[in-house]
Amino acid sequence: MKTTIRKLIQIPYTFVLMNLAAVAGLYCFARGHEGFWNSVPMGTQQPQGLRHV
């Protein structure tokens, strides 16, 4: 019973969170984003070019 209630209240919480994500997404877009792939800024590693095997 407790687990069911906990699962049920996760639905409005998830709904609100997913909608907040759209607002946060707009904020990130407006600010410009670079660090999604990871936190290291692009083009900052040592430039050794491409290597193929």
Partner 1 sequence: MAHAIFWAALTCVLYVYFGYPLLLVAWSRLGRRQVKKRDWEPSVSLLIVMHNESKNVRGKLSNCLDLDYPKNKLQIIVSLDAPTDDTEALAREYSDAGVAVMCSHVRRGKAGAINSGMTMARGQIVVFADARQRFARNAVRELVANFADPSVGAVSGELMLMDGNGREASNAVGLYWRYEKAIRSMESDIHSVPGASGSIYAIRRELFRPLPGNTFLDDVTIPMRIVLSGKRAIFDSKARAYDCVTETPEQEYEKKVRTLTGNYELFAEMPQLLLPWRNPIFIQMVSHKAGRLIVPHCLGALFAANLFLLHGFYLLFFAGQLAWYGLAVMGWISSAQRFRRQAAPAAIPLAESRKQI
Closest approach of partner 1 to the CB of residue 1, in Å:
14
| Binding track over 2-31 against partner 1, x by CB under 8 A | ----xxxxxxxxxxxxxxxxxxxxx-xx--
Give 19-46 as a DSSP string.
Answer: HHHHHHHHHHHHH---TTS-SSPTT-S-
Distance CA 26, CA 44 (A): 26
Taking alpha carbons only, the member of 36, 14, 15 closest to residue 25 is: 36
Q: Decide: is 1 part of the binding site for partner 1 (CB under 8 A).
A: no
Q: Decide: is 49 part of the binding site for partner 1 (CB under 8 A).
A: yes
Binding site for partner 1 (CB under 8 A): 6-26, 28-29, 33, 36-38, 40-53
